Chains A and B, each alone.
Chain A
C-alpha cells in the first residue's frame, strides 16, 4: 500500500510570506502528526490531528497551524515566515493513537526561507 506522501518536496520562500504544506497519510490511518527537523534543535513535535481534531500541540508559536480533512489528509501552514523556519518538515501517520502505535513518516518537505 502507498506510504505517506508529502508535497511539495522542496520549497523556497521569502521572509514574511506564508506557506502551506500537505500530507496524505497511509490509507485508513486517521492520526497525522507533524515534526520540524533542524540541525540545531533536532526533531521537534508540532501538532497531532486525529479525526479532524487537533489532539496535541507542541511548543511552537501561533504562526504554525494545521488542519485535517475528512479524508485524513492534513495541511500545515506557517505564516509570516522567519529565517529560522527553514527546516525539514516531516509528517507521520498512524492507524491509531497511544504509546504503542507505530508511526510511518513521509520523506518530508524541505523549506528554505530566504
Chain B
C-alpha cells in the first residue's frame, strides 16, 4: 500500500538556521503531496502542497518540490524562527484519503 517516510527527529536548530526535512513516498499512480504542520494542542494546518511532478509548493518561507524521479517532497526553509517550532507531517493523497508520515518534531532555539 501507499506509505510516507520522513525523518522523525527531533530536529533542533538555532534561529535563522537552514531547515531541511526529508520526505519520500511510495504510491501507485500520481498522488498529490502535502506538508501539514501541527502546533502544540492544535489540529493540523496545511503548510503547502503540490499536485503534479515538478510542482513547487511554497508558503511562509517554506518550499517543497514534487520529485517524481526520486519520489520525494523534501521541506526546506532558508531561515527558521522560534515560531516555526512544531511537528511537521508529510502526506500524500491519491483520491481516497490522506496517508501521513510519522511527523518530524522541530525545535528552534533563540
Contact residues of A with B, CB < 8 Å? 4, 6, 33, 35, 42-43, 45, 48, 56, 58, 90, 92, 97-108
B89 at the binding interface (Cβ < 8 Å): yes
Q: A42-B100, A45-B98 are in contact. Are A101 and B43 (CB under 8 A)?
A: no
Q: A90-B44, A105-B44, A105-B45 are in contact. Are A45 and B51 (CB under 8 A)?
A: no
Nearest CB of chain A from residue B21's CB, rounded to whole Å: 15
Q: What residues on A are CB-neighbors of B42 within 8 Å?
A: 107
Nearest CB of chain A from residue B102's CB, rounded to whole Å: 5
Task: Report the Cα distance A108→B42, complex, angstroms.
Answer: 7
- Residue pair B43, A108 in contact (C-beta under 8 Å): yes
Q: A43-B89, A99-B31, A99-B51 are in contact. Are A56 and B96 (CB under 8 A)?
A: yes
Q: What residues on A are CB-neighbors of B31 within 8 Å?
A: 99
Task: Report the Cα distance A56→B36, complex, angstroms.
Answer: 22
Closest residue to B41 on the A side, CB-wise? A107
B68 at the binding interface (Cβ < 8 Å): no
Q: What residues on B are CB-neighbors of A48 within 8 Å?
A: 96-97
- Residue pair A45, B89 in contact (C-beta under 8 Å): no
Nearest CB of chain A from residue B60's CB, rounded to whole Å: 16
